[in-house]
Amino acid sequence: MSQPSLAHAQTEDPIDTVLARLSNVKPTGENKWRACCPGHDDEHPSLDVTRGDDGRVLLFCRSRRCTCRAICSAIGLTEADLFDRRGMGNRSTSMKSKSKVYSTVEAYTRTLGALCGGSWVYADASGRPVMATVRINPAKTGEKKKFVILRPCAGNWGFGAPAGKRPLYRLDEIESARKKGARRIFVVEGEKCADQLRKLGVPATTWSGGACAVHKTDFSPLAHFEEVVFLPDNDPPGRKAAQLVACITVNLNAAAQLKILELPGLPEDGGDIVDYVAARPGQSIDEIKRGIDELIADAPLFTSSENRESTELVASSSGTSTEESRYRPVMTRFDAIVERPIEWEWEKRIARKKLTTIQGDPGLGKSFVTIDIVSRLSTGCGWPDRPGEAIPPASSIIMSAEDDPEDTIKPRLRYAGADLKRIHFLSGVMRFNAETLSSEERLIAFDTDMHAVEEAIADVVDCAIVVVDPISAYMGETKTHENAAVRGVLAKLSALAKRRNVAVLAVMHLNKSGGSNAVYRGQGSIAFNAAARTVWHIAPDPENNKRRFMVPVKNNIADDCGGLAFSVGRLPFAEGPTVQWEAAPVDMNANEVLLATERLESRKTQGVVEATTDWLTEQLI
């Protein structure tokens, strides 16, 4: 049975009437939807539904099979039902007002009288006003609030949004805060919430238009902050909006720490930061800020991989594909970049927030060196090239796919005098198997389990170094000989190191190609050593096989500090073998050591050939 037409008794918004009679409806933008067309057998939604500026509903079948009249007939409506006939007596006056201009934003809000719910001006980075948002409260019970956007127009203010992307709220203030060194920014939904945080003395912003206008806003300024905290309204739309903006932000700056913090005790009908502050009348601003800081510290990090649905919704709302929405250019003028000194864990040798690699053949002491490094760090006894200089004790994480923690790693740590409470062994990740109904542990793979590594680092409060031995064992399905594939994984690993302020010390074996150019001797793609900021080579002393060299292959972030010599052995009365460093520096780089080794091997080979020749000559004569 067809449904009666509403043309003569319209009491609701025609867009609500139309959408209620369609199936598989999804939003594609502000006042835009897509649904299955009722005029034909539509397996893939092909009907575009748009609400016009005057309230009318526009229908377009992308398959071009169905006319507007046929679509209306299929859902029991007429074309007349697509027009907003509510309040037709005021229509001409309303349309005329749309063409008016006002000397100021306040001049317009005065015409609204008691219906005005507030106005907020948006400026660009220089402080020049570019648009304003005005809230119009419902005139009758059951109606929804509305928002009107104004823009500067020849010295006045007219209706409509500015061309291009809309700026963030208080953009000039958050840019100023960033240049002064602010590392954290809050993102909320609604100007009132941003203003509330401003009263607390913290940088905060929002965007205009809510979840449906996310794609119309330029969020790139958020990429310049180290930490972005989203405070969603306490309702499903508020949480979804926070996820949408977080997905955009994580793709703008993968190194940023992103958190969605749901404040406790908020009203369930969309409570926000304004309600949170109002519920604490007896607390000072500092007390409220400390409470929020504690909540942020306990909140989990946001990762886009765990919110793919939100990423796809961002794509659909912007009219782009998922891949297009996930990759956007991030560009910053250098005058806006805040300079920061490099933070060294071991001066000029191992830096925090960076990837460092140690390469060498098996059995030369690479793992012994990493054990010595984390042991020294755990007790704060200082580095071998700076005797007598203590360092702040810190914790470490060891990932080892070759040495057993019970019979090899722990004994070596104990021999080195390590504080075992500060050193942690990350053996793998635990996954639930739905078929066997049991949990199974497997080795970590950087291409899929980076979040697990980050969670492990977060659990170690003062973690300074993560040792990966060898890194090739943790690359998962990544083809380690392909440059682009390796760089993609290492970029994420480096971003993690930056977010967590840790040094990543990766161990590598050598390839079998030979040659005296050390940068090409690492196993797998050259991307491993190219991505690392410092690379060290472990090799035997060509003139003393019991002596080892740790010499530089490259150092992109400091001048050459020379190499070091060491040996691995058991001191008198010692329980087991340890690294014994020499005080004098080694004035050779990795290429020179490899070349000297090649020449020595060549001389040995030549000597064997000559001895064999002499023996054969004696036997044949």
3-state secondary structure 413-444: HHHCCCCHHHEEECCCEEEEECCCCEEEEECC
Contact at 8 Å (CB) between 495 and 256?
no
Last residue of a domain, one of 335, 359, 387: 335
Q: Is residue 171 part of a domain?
A: no
Closest CA to 581 of 392, 383, 449: 383
Give alpha helix (H) positions in 200-342. 236-252, 273-278, 285-298, 308-318, 322-326
Buried b (16+ CB within 10 A) or exposed e, 393-429: ebbbbbbbbeeeeeeebbbbbebbebeeebbbebebb
Q: Is residue 60 part of a domain?
A: yes
Q: Are residues 80 and 185 in the same domain?
A: no
Q: Are residues 270 and 395 in the same domain?
A: no
Neighbours of 599 (CB within 10 A): 12
Q: Are residues 376 and 311 in the same domain?
A: no
Closest CA to 310 of 192, 191, 230: 230
Average pLDDT per run of 10 along the chain, which is 621 residues long?
44 76 79 84 85 83 82 85 64 45 89 88 93 86 79 84 87 92 93 94 91 79 92 88 86 83 90 94 93 91 59 48 50 79 94 94 92 95 89 95 94 95 93 59 89 89 94 91 90 91 94 76 86 92 88 91 92 88 88 78 68 78 72
Q: What is the pLDDT of residue 597?
A: 74
In whole angstroms, give the CA distance from residue 349 to residue 550: 11
Strand partners, 260: 230
Last residue of a domain, one of 89, 124, 142: 89
Q: Is residue 568 part of a domain?
A: yes
Last residue of a domain, one of 89, 113, 132: 89
In whole angstroms, give the CA distance from residue 63 to residue 225: 45
For residue 326, the enclosing domain spans: 181-201+212-335
Contact at 8 Å (CB) between 236 and 202?
no
Which letter does DSSP use for residue 374 in this model? H
Q: Is residue 612 part of a domain?
A: no
Backbone angles phi, psi at 34, to 5 degrees: -135, 140
Q: What is the pLDDT of residue 396?
A: 97
CA dihedral 170, 175, 181, 187 (to 10 degrees): 40
Give every CB contact of residue 562 below 8 A, 6+ residues apart in sequence.
552, 585, 586, 587
Contact at 8 Å (CB) between 14 and 79?
no
CA atoms within 13 A on the CB side of 349: 21
Which letter does DSSP use for residue 86 in this model? T
Q: Are residues 145 and 275 in the same domain?
A: no
Closest CA to 121 of 82, 75, 60, 166: 166
Neighbours of 201 (CB within 10 A): 10
Q: Are residues 462 and 566 in the same domain?
A: yes
Q: Which two tokens stand for residue 405?
A: 């923690």
Domain count, the chain: 4
Q: What angle do CA 228, 230, 231 make, to 5 degrees?
A: 145
In whole angstroms, give the CA distance from residue 223 to residue 34: 32
Q: Is residue 164 part of a domain?
A: no
In whole angstroms, give the CA distance from residue 34 to residue 68: 15
Q: Are residues 116 and 76 in the same domain?
A: no
CA atoms within 13 A on the CB side of 86: 11
Contact at 8 Å (CB) between 273 and 241?
no
Q: What angle do CA 247, 166, 107 make, to 5 degrees?
A: 140
Say whether pTM exceeds 0.75.
Answer: no
The domain that holds 238 is classified in CATH as 3.40.1360
Contact at 8 Å (CB) between 156 and 132?
no
Question: Cα separations (Å) of 493 from 103, 359, 563?
Answer: 54, 18, 26
Q: Are residues 134 and 39 in the same domain?
A: no
Neighbours of 475 (CB within 10 A): 19
Contact at 8 Å (CB) between 427 and 441?
yes
Q: Are residues 429 and 519 in the same domain?
A: yes
Q: Which two tokens stand for residue 560?
A: 């050459």
Exposed / middle / buried, residue 58 (Cβ in 10 Å: 0-12, 13-18, 19+): middle
Checking phi first, is residue 382 left (phi over 0); if not, alpha (psi -120 to 50) or beta?
left
Length of the chain, in residues: 621
Q: Are residues 390 and 312 in the same domain?
A: no
Which letter does DSSP use for residue 407 in this model? I
Contact at 8 Å (CB) between 374 and 398?
yes
In whole angstroms, give the CA distance from residue 461 to residue 393: 12
Q: Is residue 391 part of a domain?
A: yes
Neighbours of 432 (CB within 10 A): 9
Q: What angle do CA 346, 351, 353 make, to 5 degrees?
A: 145
Q: Are residues 82 and 116 in the same domain?
A: no
CA atoms within 13 A on the CB side of 11: 3
Q: Are residues 272 and 361 in the same domain?
A: no
Q: Are residues 509 and 565 in the same domain?
A: yes
Neighbours of 384 (CB within 10 A): 19
Contact at 8 Å (CB) between 270 and 192?
no
Please tell me whether the peptide bond between 470 and the residue prior to it is cis, using omega within 30 degrees of 0: yes
Neighbours of 589 (CB within 10 A): 20
Contact at 8 Å (CB) between 534 and 552?
yes
Q: Is residue 442 part of a domain?
A: yes
Q: Is residue 292 part of a domain?
A: yes
CA dihedral 208, 209, 211, 214 (to 10 degrees): -60
